Structures are given as structure tokens and as C-alpha cells.
Amino acid sequence: MKTILQINSSLGGANAASTALANRLVEGLRARDAELVLVRRDLDREPLPHLDAARLSATAKPAAARSPAEDAIAADADAVLGELLRAHHVVIAAPMYNFGAPSTLKSWFDTIARAGVTFRYTANGPEGLLRDKRATLVTTRGGIHRDRPQDHLVPYVRTMLAFVGITELEVVYAEGLALGEAPRNAALARAGQEIDSLAARIAA
């Protein structure tokens, strides 16, 4: 059975536009394949610790060399990493905050970027090890920023996914959500139609 890992990172919880659009994609995929397994992680409701020296040291050490406190840190990080390793498709719901990714999403990337597991260093530079997965980023923003220099979210997500080997990425944008009711509704409708088409194409 294939698994979808949905990562929600909005402060708005279940009512957030990015979450609703990601849910629509996931539901569209599951409607076409009843055997798909869904794993959801809400980074706002259950934020991951930001990367610090203790967390980095604990996950880098062999299990036999860890203290009990380090074992607990590593077990938490391993559970998050395991969700990604088991997934075939990663769906990331990410609003843009102050031109970048939510800090909770960065903490997730810091957790899953594990040398020797999701990437490795070679003579030719780092090599991603998760080449058998695909990803979809659903991003919402109040203004219009697509393909502009101030959009630091999409390039960051694209770079981090490629770093661990996930290069098959599709991005769905819903922009201008703070520009009034009519622009917001139109943007959400366009994004919804794109998501429906994407679900049909992926499932084909």
C-alpha cells in the first residue's frame, strides 16, 4: 500500500486555506485509490523543537553512545523521520509568512535532513537518498509573489526536498488572499481546480 504524508504548517489550524486545499488534494487522491494510507502531521498543533546543539548531537550519535536524555531526543526525531521514509507522496501545506516558510516547517526539514539516511556526502557533493518519492506544495499568501524575488518559500522548499532526493515537485499557488473577498474567492477557486486536475493526473 502507498502512503501520503500530509504536512500542515499554518497557524490557522483546520480552517486555514492552505490546509483546506491540501485536504482537497489528499481527498481527491484517496477517492481514486481507497487503499492509500494517510498520515497527517500538524506542525502548529504539535510543533517540533527547533534545531539546537543537543538535538543535532543526539541524532548524529550511534545509539550505544547516547545518554538517556539523548535517546529520548533521537526517538522523537526518528518518529518524524520514519513518517517520511514510509511515504510515497509528501503533501506540504504552507502559507507564506513574512516572505518565507513558517518556522515550524523549517524545524521539520531540520529534523528530516539526516546525514547517512536522507542524504549523504560524496566526492561530488551531497546526494539525496529519497529518490523514489514525489511531493506537492500547496502554498497560500496574502499578496502576489509567485516567481518574484521576495518569494523565499517555494525556492526553500524546492531546495530542501531536492537535497534529500525528492525532485518531483508540483506547486499549487493561491495568492492575493488578503486583497479582498472577490480576489480571495477567485484565487481559491483557481487553486481548487488545479488541485482537482492534479489529483486526476497523479492517479491516472
pLDDT tens for each residue of 42-84: 999 999 999 999 999 999 999 999 999 999 999 999 999 999 9
CATH (domain of 106): 3.40.50.360
| Dihedral-angle region of residue 98 (phi above 0 means left; psi in -120 to 50 means alpha; beta otherwise) | left
CB-side exposure of 63: number of CA atoms within 13 Å? 3
Residue 14: DSSP 8-state: G
Mean pLDDT score, 10-38: 96
Band (pLDDT 50/70/90 cuts) for residue 1 is confident
- Number of folded domains in the chain? 1
Inter-CA distances, 166 with 83, 129, 185, 193, Å: 15, 8, 32, 25
> Which residue range is the domain that position 189 belongs to?
3-203
Average pLDDT over residues 117-139: 97
To which residue does cell 560524496 refer? Answer: 122
- What pLDDT band is residue 14 in, cutting at 50, 70 and 90? confident
pLDDT at site 137:
98
pLDDT, mean over the chain: 97
Whole-number pLDDT of residue 149:
98
pLDDT band at 15 (very low <50, low <70, confident <90, very high): confident
pLDDT of residue 159: 98
User: Which pLDDT score is estimated for 38?
Assistant: 98
- DSSP code for 129: S
140 vs 19: CA distance, rounded Å: 9
The confidence score (pLDDT) of residue 204 equals 78
Q: What is the mean pLDDT of residues 171-185?
A: 98
For 134-169, b/e burial (b = at least 16 CB within 10 A) is bbbbbbbbeeebeeeeebebbebbbebbebbbbeeb
Average pLDDT over residues 140-152: 98
> What number of CA atoms fall less than 13 Å from residue 199's CA on the CB side?
23
| Residue 127, all three cell numbers | 546526494
Distance between terminal CA atoms of the chain? 17
